[in-house]
Structure 1
């Protein structure tokens, strides 16, 4: 785990293999690597928190994700399929984390510089939650949230509504008076309605075209990816 002045932390990659729109997407091929593998390659370059734990469900359908994590040399935590807030909190407890950075596993173009910005804001501001999705200010697929375990425990204590607990931090965003939240905004706004995530077959086709355009998918900046994205559309 990564040690910081707010205690140990890790990147939690959230993934399941029974996505309604694109089942199995995390392990589908994307230019010679699984979609999740592309995310792992890029997130290894994070400078503040770069230890990774794949947080998936405890169902047999997600056994291949545990095998993937083992092959990649990253951690794996298995918990509730639908209560994702509890899964994240339990992953923290099980791994001795005081905070974590939430990354969706369908984000093969996750940007380490963006993740570092969110992590740095969390550390410097001393907040419960640092985010670039409240309001959404970066493309879908470049989202990151740094959250304290204590804040997650308060969310679990406050609500058992699955509509909140499936979406991890939604309760905090809808009850901002109860949480300290700081937002990270991009230097160049205007991309918040763009998606570079892989959530549908069309997204996967576009991502494959985009990967083929990138000289080095591991090190490409978000700016470089966004500039090439129209050519892959």
Structure 2
């Protein structure tokens, strides 16, 4: 896949969606039906509205259990990189190296209501300051779980991977940087209110999937719905 460069001197970038099919709490969740589209497909539909970083790349594991995820990504017209199942930071770094990316925006594939405007705001914050290592909306979290986005430079991710081999850190990609924030330049993006705190619109359990199905039935257009509209549908 050819990665489209972001309109910046900071170089080529992509939205990297992270997914695998053997989740302990809800196995196969990424390809489960959500109003006629898989959960991962709903995320892709919404992310196609992103302006700042239009390219998408699925990063999944190299195990046979995730073959169907690769097939789905190819059918959707987005690239797919396969790497270590547990070392997610290493998988992301290898995906960046394989596709010549200078930075990426991390998105969880179990986020069918990920918001393109919020994702763009994180990417724009990263681009606005060429000295940043990470722009994020989870440090501290002000947006719902399921609307997370993190823009990470390749050098910053390489530093994280060089700093620790412990999977409890590398599984969460950026956790080491947040724990050692004095060693990284990080900017957090937060909403101007506290209404989203403590909310989740991700799909991680059977109960989450049931809630997502109920919420999406209340949305006239799930692809174009704003984050506020999605949260209201969950209420």
| TM more than 0.5 | yes
Matched, 1:65 2:69: yes
Alpha-carbon distance, 1:226 to partner: 1.1
Matched residue, 1:206: 211
Matched residue, 1:28: 32
Q: TM-score, normalised by structure 2?
A: 0.96
Matched residue, 2:222: 217
Matched residue, 2:102: 98
Matched residue, 1:3: 5
**CA-to-aligned-CA distance 1:141-170 (integer Å, 9 cap, x gap):** 000000001100011111111111111000
Count of residue correspondences: 230
The answer (yes or no) to whether the contact 1:2–1:48 under 8 Å persists in 2 is no
Matched, 1:140 2:129: no
The answer (yes or no) to whether the contact 1:89–1:153 under 8 Å persists in 2 is yes
Secondary structure of residue in 2 paired with 1:78: strand
The answer (yes or no) to whether the contact 1:28–1:34 under 8 Å persists in 2 is yes
Alpha-carbon distance, 1:187 to partner: 2.6
Q: Which runs of 4+ in 1 moved over 3 A?
A: none
Matched residue, 1:83: 87
Stretch deviating more after TM superposition (23-32 or 186-195): 186-195
Matched residue, 1:176: 181
Matched, 1:12 2:16: yes
Matched residue, 1:42: 46
Structure 2: gaps of 5 or more residues: none
Alpha-carbon distance, 1:3 to partner: 1.6
The answer (yes or no) to whether the contact 2:216–2:233 under 8 Å persists in 1 is no
Secondary structure of residue in 1 paired with 2:13: strand
- Out of 194, 197, 207, the residue aligned to residue 202 of structure 2 is 197
Alpha-carbon distance, 1:229 to partner: 1.1
Secondary structure of residue in 1 paired with 2:5: strand
- Out of 151, 154, 164, the residue aligned to residue 149 of structure 1 is 154
The answer (yes or no) to whether the contact 1:36–1:107 under 8 Å persists in 2 is yes
Alpha-carbon distance, 1:192 to partner: 2.0
Q: TM-score, normalised by structure 1?
A: 0.97
The answer (yes or no) to whether the contact 2:136–2:151 under 8 Å persists in 1 is yes
Aligned equivalents of 1:51, 1:189: Cα separation in 2: 31
Aligned equivalents of 2:191, 2:69: Cα separation in 1: 32
Alpha-carbon distance, 1:125 to partner: 1.9
Secondary structure of residue in 2 paired with 1:94: helix
What value does the CA root-mean-square deviation take over the aligned residues? 0.7
